[in-house]
A = this chain, B = another copy of it.
Amino acid sequence: MNIKPIGKRVLIKPVKEKERTKGGIYIPETAKEKRKQGIVVELGTIEEKEFPISKGDVILYTGYSSEELEVDGEKYLILDSKDIIAKIEE
């Protein structure tokens, strides 16, 4: 079963904090509830030039207007693309 975001939206899988800090990015406590990390699962109608992101990218996003849902027990979020602020390239 596949969730296809509609409009300028992106489906992501939130990444738990601890895994991240081992490899590099640490988000100060104060910013934590505001900004998180995730992995891109599916793209809606996104212009490559404006938002150069693809499936599998690890991204940073500010999280107020995300929509939460669970599929087969796994947690996903649907974000507005404008809330994606950066991608992390290994």
Contact = CB atoms under 8 A, between A and B. Distances in A.
28 contacts: A1-B25, A2-B88, A3-B87, A3-B89, A5-B86, A6-B52, A7-B50, A7-B82, A7-B85, A11-B86, A24-B71, A24-B72, A25-B70, A26-B69, A26-B70, A26-B71, A27-B68, A28-B68, A31-B69, A34-B67, A35-B69, A44-B86, A45-B50, A45-B51, A62-B67, A67-B85, A78-B85, A78-B86
Copies of this protein in the complex: 7
Q: How large is the interface on A (under 10, 10 to 19, 20 to 34, 35 or more residues)?
A: 35 or more
**Ranked 6 nearest A-B pairs via Cβ:** A2-B89, A26-B70, A1-B24, A5-B86, A6-B84, A31-B68
A6 B51 contact: yes
